[in-house]
Amino acid sequence: MGASLRALGQKAKAASREIATAGTAAKDSALLEAADLIEQRSDWLLSANAADVDRSRGSGMGATQIDRLGLSEARLAAMAAALRQVASLPDPVGEVAGGWRRPNGLRVEQVRVPLGVVGVIYENRPNVTSDAAGLCLKSGNATMLRGSSSAIESNRAIVSCLREALGKAGLPEDAVTLVEDTSHEAAVEFMRLDGMIDCLIPRGGPSLIASVRENATVPAVIDGDGNCHVYVDKAADIEMAVSIMANAKMQRPGVCNAAESLLVHADIAADVLPRMRSALDGVELLGDERTRAILPGIAVATDEDFATEFLDLKLSVAVVGDLSSAIAHIARYGTGHSEAIITEDLRAAERFCNEVDAAAVLVNASTRFVDGGELGLGAEIGISTQKLHARGPMGLRELTCLKYVVRGDGQIRQ
């Protein structure tokens, strides 16, 4: 197993050198061709997926997981549309991000280049296969995809469309490879392909992230939890606060940029909290003591609740004495994803933006906007909650790095 995975890694590495210098037109043509193939071969893709779904159902997979695994004509159309969308985005490769001349005449430039080989390890959504490969291809990277065993037939079929499209565009098919060994041992080996994988992106739950932290020896960008807060300042527009909170919690509760916790300034809590309860109809509220004094019916929020990303119609609520306490609460329980303040007070807004340590801070807007599409990146391969390399939504630019190009006319160092 180890040998064949390394052989696959070497193929990906070789392909990455070719695709790194490929022109935009060839890459776009491969993306459009792949989109067409996915639509043209929908019957075949759906039957491969049906085999995965049957097998998984037979082995007792739950309904939510089955839903994630399942494809449909509509989902295939969305995958094709995503590939076409990526084709329409500007190519990040070749941008000169900066440049200057040194006193000795050396001309220094920082040029944007692909990372090389991007390894993606993920769970059972088959659309990640085409989404991730498409973004990597457009940014000039080779991709090694390691999906779950439950989706293996679907992934094989999708990858074959992508590889055929690469070939038709005159690009190396090995720029997209699927790791077919879905054992745990192969996953660990995959995270340790030093010298082959330049960037590992895990997309999945806490156990996958923990395994990457523990086992990976290649550089990784962690797409971690989102325990996101909405803080309603004493100078908030209360109607706006209620509307944003309801949106941040309820518009799509199962995603990482949904809010999990509400903090309300003590001075306005008696007014705000009952209105929040009405607006958050269907959401289970868990409150601290001061919250429960105003909303006596609700359950107690424990320390653990404040630290939990519910990904559900559940919300922890605390009353805080001032902005500093809100910032301290977020520092203690937040995961550095997205944090919002609702206020009309300029100083409070600026302090919140400066002092809250998160990938994204928002003033008077829903946390749900922290997403590659919504922020204007066009698409995203994940949302980084670490600080190295990329923070927040990762788009095409975040799949590149800067290389120094230094031009001289014979300079030597004194």
Interacting residue ranges for a second copy, rule: CB under 8 A = 17, 20-21, 100, 102, 106, 108, 111, 113, 115-116, 194, 198-199, 213-214, 217, 219-222, 237, 240, 243-244, 246-248, 251, 331, 349, 353-355, 357-366, 368-370, 374-376, 386-389, 391-392, 401-413
Distances in Å between the Cα of 278 and the Cα atoms of 176, 235, 246, 352 are: 50, 21, 10, 27
User: How near is the Cβ of 103 to a second copy at its closest, in Å?
Assistant: 9
| Cα–Cα distance, 138 to 91 (Å, whole number) | 7
The residue (of 293 and 405) whose beta carbon lies closer to a second copy is: 405
**Measured from the CB of residue 70, what is the shortest distance to a second copy in angstroms?**
25
Shortest gap between Cβ of 160 and a second copy (angstroms)?
Answer: 28
Kindly state the tokens that stand for 171.
């690009």
Does residue 21 contact residue 119 with C-beta atoms inside 8 Å? no
Select 92 or 287, whichever has its Cβ closest to a second copy.
92
In whole angstroms, the minimum distance from the beta carbon of 126 to a second copy comes to: 25
- Which is closer to a second copy, CB of 111 or CB of 298? 111
CB of 355 to a second copy, least distance (A): 6
Burial class (CB in 10 A: 0-12, 13-18, 19+), 65: middle
Look at residues 378, 385, 347, 384 and name the one whose alpha carbon lies nearest to residue 363: 347
Nearer to a second copy, 30 or 246 (CB): 246
Can you tell me whether residue 100 is helix, strand or coil?
strand
Query: Which of 12/158 has CB closer to a second copy?
Result: 12
81 or 106: CB nearest a second copy: 106
- Cβ proximity to a second copy, 74 vs 412, nearer residue: 412
Q: Smallest distance from the beta carbon of 237 to a second copy, in angstroms?
A: 7
- Convert 227-260 to b/e letters by CB count within 10 Å (16 or more is b): bbbbbbbbbbeeeebbebbbbbbbeebeebbbbb
Nearest to 259 by CA among 208, 308, 217: 308
- Pick 298 or 331: Cβ nearer a second copy: 331
Q: Extract the tokens encoding 200.
A: 């590992």
**Of the two residues 21 and 88, which places its CB atom closer to a second copy in the complex?**
21
Alpha helices in 106-151 (DSSP H): 127-138
CA torsion sign for 207, 213, 214, 220 is: positive
Q: Which is nearer to a second copy, 153 or 223 (CB)?
A: 223
Query: In which element (H, E) is residue 93 found?
Result: none
247 close to 258: Cβ distance less than 8 angstroms: no
Residue 201 parent element (H or E): strand 199-203
Closest distance to a second copy from the beta carbon of 113 (Å): 8
SS3 state of residue 288: coil
Q: Is 198 left (phi over 0), alpha (psi -120 to 50) or beta?
A: alpha
- In the bound complex, what is the minimum distance in angstroms from residue 111's beta carbon to a second copy? 8
* Rounded Cα–Cα distance for residues 49 and 63 (Å): 15
CA angle 386, 382, 253 (to 5 degrees): 100
- Taking the complex as a whole, the smallest distance from the CB of residue 76 to a second copy amounts, in Å, to 24
CB of 142 to a second copy, least distance (A): 12
Give SS3 for 222.
coil
7 contacts: CB under 8 Å, gap ≥ 6: none
